[in-house]
Every structure is written in structure tokens, then in C-alpha cells.
A and B are shown apart, each in its own frame.
Chain A
Amino acid sequence: MSERVTVPAVQGWFTTPADGDAEQPHLIGAKCVECATYVFPPRATGCPNPHCASDVLEPTPLSRRGKVWSYTENQYAPPKPFRAPDPFEPYALAAVQLDAEGLVILGQVAKGVLAADLQVGMDMQVELGTLYSDTDDDGNVVDHLVYVWAPATPAGAEAVQS
């Protein structure tokens, strides 16, 4: 009998319900064991800090919340390898600043939240969304998950210029 299953669209970039983290997903970065700098997407070797010769980076959870650095909304379907729904629905992207890690991370914004709902400085949090769905060899519907940014509070309520 066919089921509905979820898999991450990319491995090791965020926690999923399978990690026991269904309610509070977070991004996974890498942290250098020597100089403590952060990297996203995560990687296992090669510290990006030119003053550090370490080749060991460890996975680390990143702050779940941050502030919008900037944002946009795609009104045309991006080309492959993006799997655009047909008909195409406009969607937003946001670059969100994580203060503790000193990173700005680009992501899709949760479905239904568009540019008009966003503002520079707004509080956002990581959630999971379905990038696309397909069917596996056993007839199961597979939802491919990706991290998305979602307003942490009602849109615009805590907007701050940064």
C-alpha cells in the first residue's frame, strides 16, 4: 500500500521530523574546532578563516531565529534544476541575518508569505516546506523537504531597520 513519506531535498543542512525535531527545525552549520568560526552550508573540512589552518569542522545547530537582511519575490518560474509548479505560483526568498553566528543565509520564504508581507529587519524563523513532491518505485508519494524562512511574529509587527 502506498504511503506519503518525507525526505530532505539536501542532506545535513537542516533537522527533520526524523531527527525528533518536528516542532523546532533548525539549520545545521559547521563550526571550526580551532577558531570557532561558522560555515553554512555545513562542510567537514577546510576552515574558511585564512588565519586558521584547521581541517576539522563539526556540525552545529544554528540559531533558529534571525532578522531579514533583504528579500525578493520571484514572479517568473526559475529554470531547471528548480522544479517549478505548473501553473507557477510566485514565492518569496529572504536573506536572514543570524546575529550569534554572524551569517546571512538565503532561503525560500514559507508559502503564502510574499514580498508585501516582508520588511528589512523583520524577525524570521526556520521552518520546513515541501520543495516538490514525486513518486518513488513503490508508489509512495515523496515530499522533498527544504528549509524555509517564516515570519516569527505577525508580518511587520516587529519590523526594525537594521
Chain B
Amino acid sequence: MSERDVVILGAGMHPWGKWGRDFTEYGMVAARAALADAGLAWTDVEYVAGAETIRNGYPGFVPGSTFSQKLGWIGVPVSSSYAACASGSTALQAARANILAGFCDVALVIGADTTPKGFFAPVGGDRPDDPDWLRFHLLGATNPVFFALNARRRMDVYGATAEDFAQVKVKNSRHGLENPNARFRKENTVDDVVKSPIVSDPLRLLDICATSDGAAALIVTSAEYAERKLGKLAGVPRVRAVSLSTPTYPQTRLELPDFATDSSAVVTPPARGFKDSLIWNAYEEAGLGPDDVSFAEVYDLSTALELDWYENLGLCAEGEAEQLLRKGDTTIGGRVPVNPSGGLACFGEAIPAQAIAQVCELTWQLRGQATGRQVEGATVGITANQGLFGHGSSVIVSI
């Protein structure tokens, strides 16, 4: 291991739920838990990277300083990142870059959110130049509309069925049963899913993830610092890659919140589309490939989107995700478990915390601490996450 590596010394979360309390309350719990897990004091932290929430006023825009003030000013640099659903991994990369540059050795990465009930709506006010406002105004194109377009595509082109989608929920609901941080800890049957009301056809209420309150935090350090503190690095999860790349023009898949794809009339589309390239950039940075992956935490905003990720991750060829699911390959105990945490199906989405929560799960799985949902012998974990406006991320952690 080179001294320029970044390792994860601590992971902490506030359980996901729906209480409507001040988001900083949740964040404080997660930060204290991550510090305790790392065996460090707040005053040992040399950099704070916050992931922003846009629904909690000014404190939400400046979480780096919001949490620094809450924990007590310690006079260290802070940053705040917004990258939609990839905000958490963007904050992680800010911390990692500062450590790799030698500017600091110990960083706190933190994200927390309080969410309103129901559909995510755009930020208030009349903004006819904002595509995110216009998609609601002109089309009523909620986030589930975009999830549904992808789901329908799987059905009409690859022969996916409503039961396949339901089986993703059934699998994830079982995975999350013992997860103390999961909001929904109830086993769902196929019947529960296919009899829940349709929101955006073909997706039903139980196919679509909820919005949640929650918080997650990581303590990341230089490998050198960790070795000095622990006397060894064996068994300490190491960040192998953080991919945050945008699409490459032309982006020919319709993505949130766009009215249209880019045009492929003049420029040939790239060999790898947006989500494929997000993942493969991570593989390339880590020097790893799909065959090395022990398990994955993916953004199952809908059940059907989890199936898309199997293909983006290279776990199977395009159009074969349903077969992988049906064989049980992605269930704990199978070849490459997906969402052993229970995923968004069991958590719901707390935007700035979610990508950090995925890395928390990687940490606990790789340390063998994921009680009741452990992927035995896991050595490499990967996250996959996607947001609006060309944001997304993939993080690879290994021991």
C-alpha cells in the first residue's frame, strides 16, 4: 500500500426515518458515531467536507461550516459540495483530494437531510428558464416518470416483468431486515408490490423509493496517519476509486431533468453511455473489473433501475439483468450480492447523505461488521449512484 492511499477509519450514521426535525440533529449523531468508530476526537479533524441539502435553507447550503459550528469551531478548512444525489461522494472526493495533496491527514465527510413528504418538487418560485421547474410545469414529469421510462424500456425491449421488478424489492426488503439504520424493516412479498397502487406506469408505490430523513459520516485519513495510529493497515478499508464524471456528448439516454437527449445527428455517441462510463472510470482508477467485485451498493431509486445497474456494473450483459436476479446471484449468499444494506428500498433517499451511506455500508461489509446481512469474505465493494443534471458517482473500496 502506498502512502498516498486514503483509508476509512470511521463510519457512522443516524438511522433513516421521517421525523421532520432539524437536519443538523441527525448530522451530529452521524459525525459523533464516525469519530467514535475511528477512535478520534473532533479536535483531531483537519478538514471538513459537507454534502449540501437544498431544502433546508442557508445552513443546508454550507454544511461544512454548519457542522463545524455545531461541533464547535476548530479553525480548519471546510468545503460544501452540491452534486444532486452524488453530493456525498463529491464531498468524499474533496476530502480525499486534500489528503492526497498533503494538505491534511484527517477529514470528516458528512451529509444530512430532512425531506418533505411525497414527490420531490422543484425549489419554489416561478423560474421559466429552469428546466427542473419547467419539467414539472409543462409535463408533470416527476422523478418517478423518468424511472418509469427506463422501467418500461426494460419491459418492452428485454421482456422484464412486473414480477421481476417486485423481486428486487422482495430481495432488498429481506437484506435490510436486520439493518439497524434502515427505515423500512418489513419483509415484502411479490404480492405486496404488484398490488400496491401504480404511481407512474409500470412502477407501483413499492417499486419506488421514498424520501427520508437521515445522516451519514465518514472519517477518512491518509494511510500514513492510519498506520501511525493503528500500528498496521491490515483490515483497514482503502478508497480505491471515486468516479464523478459527467456524460460525454452526445448523451443519448433521456436523463433527469431533461426534456430531450443530446443530438446524435452530427457527433457519434461514445462507446460507453453515461452510467457505464461512471462505473468503468472507477474500475480503471482502481485497476479492477467486474470479476473482482464482491458486492455492490447501487442506487435503486426504483426496483427496475437496480436491474439497469447490474448491466452498467458489467455483472452481466445488457438485457440479462433479470436472469441474474432470477438465479439469485444478487442475493446475499449469491455470486455478487447487490444492496446487502437493503438499499434505497429499505432506506428511502436522504439525498446528501445517501452516497456517504453507501460507503458506510462498504466499510462495515469489508470489516465483517454487517451483522445479519454480511457478505462473507467480501474484499471489494463498489457503489453506483446517479442524480440530476449529469451528476453521478461510483466509489470502490477494498481491504
Contacts and interface: CB of A to CB of B under 8 A. Distances in A.
B215 interface: no
Interface string B139-160: 1111001001110110011000
Nearest to B149: A70
A100 B265 contact: yes
Interface stretch (B53-61, B197-205, B376-384): B197-205
Interface stretch (B85-93, B126-134, B272-280): B126-134
A95 B254 contact: yes
Interface string B184-219: 000000000000011111110000000000000000
Interface in A107-125: 107-108, 115, 119-121
A61 to B, nearest CB: 15
Contact of A78 (B119, B126, B249, B265): B119
Contact of B260 (A37, A104, A161): A104
B264 interface: yes
A78 B119 CA distance: 7
A74 B200 contact: yes
A73 B149 CA distance: 9
Nearest to B261: A104
Contacts, number: 146
B156 A70 contact: yes
A49 B250 CA distance: 8
A82 B157 contact: no
Given A39-B263, A81-B133, A104-B254, A75 B138 contact: no
Contact of B259 (A38, A75, A102, A106): A106
Contacts of B197: 75
Q: Which of A39, A49, A103 has the most CB of B within 10 A?
A: A103
Contacts of A81: 122, 126, 133, 136-137
Given A48-B249, A104-B252, A105-B260, A78 B136 contact: yes
B266 A120 contact: no
B267 A40 contact: no
B145 A103 contact: no
Interface residues of A, number: 48
B385 to A, nearest CB: 22
B121 interface: yes
B198 A75 contact: yes
A72 B148 contact: yes
Nearest to A114: B201
Interface in B330-347: none
A37 B145 contact: no
A36 B266 contact: yes
A101 B152 contact: no
B137 A70 contact: no
A40 B259 contact: yes
A80 B119 CA distance: 10
B266 A49 contact: yes
Nearest to B148: A72
Contacts of A73: 198, 200-201
B118 interface: yes
A100 B263 CA distance: 10
A102 B265 contact: yes
Contact of B262 (A35, A41, A48, A95): A48
A10 B149 contact: no
A9 interface: yes
B138 A93 contact: no
A120 B153 contact: yes
Contact of A9 (B138, B140, B258): B138
A10 B128 contact: yes
Contacts of A38: 263, 265-266
A146 interface: yes
Contact of A146 (B135, B138, B152): B138
Interface string A74-101: 1111111110100000011101000011
Contacts of B122: 81
A15 to B, nearest CB: 16
A74 B208 CA distance: 13
B276 to A, nearest CB: 18
19 contacts: A10-B134, A36-B266, A37-B263, A39-B263, A48-B263, A49-B267, A70-B152, A71-B152, A72-B148, A72-B201, A79-B118, A79-B119, A81-B122, A93-B140, A105-B259, A106-B141, A120-B153, A120-B157, A131-B138
10 pairs of A and B residues whose beta carbons are closest in the complex: A78-B140, A102-B264, A72-B148, A120-B156, A102-B265, A73-B201, A79-B121, A38-B263, A82-B140, A70-B149
Interface of B: 118-119, 121-122, 126, 128, 131, 133-142, 145, 148-150, 152-153, 156-157, 197-203, 249-250, 252, 254, 258-267
Interface of A: 9-10, 35-41, 48-51, 69-82, 84, 91-93, 95, 100-108, 115, 119-121, 131, 146, 161
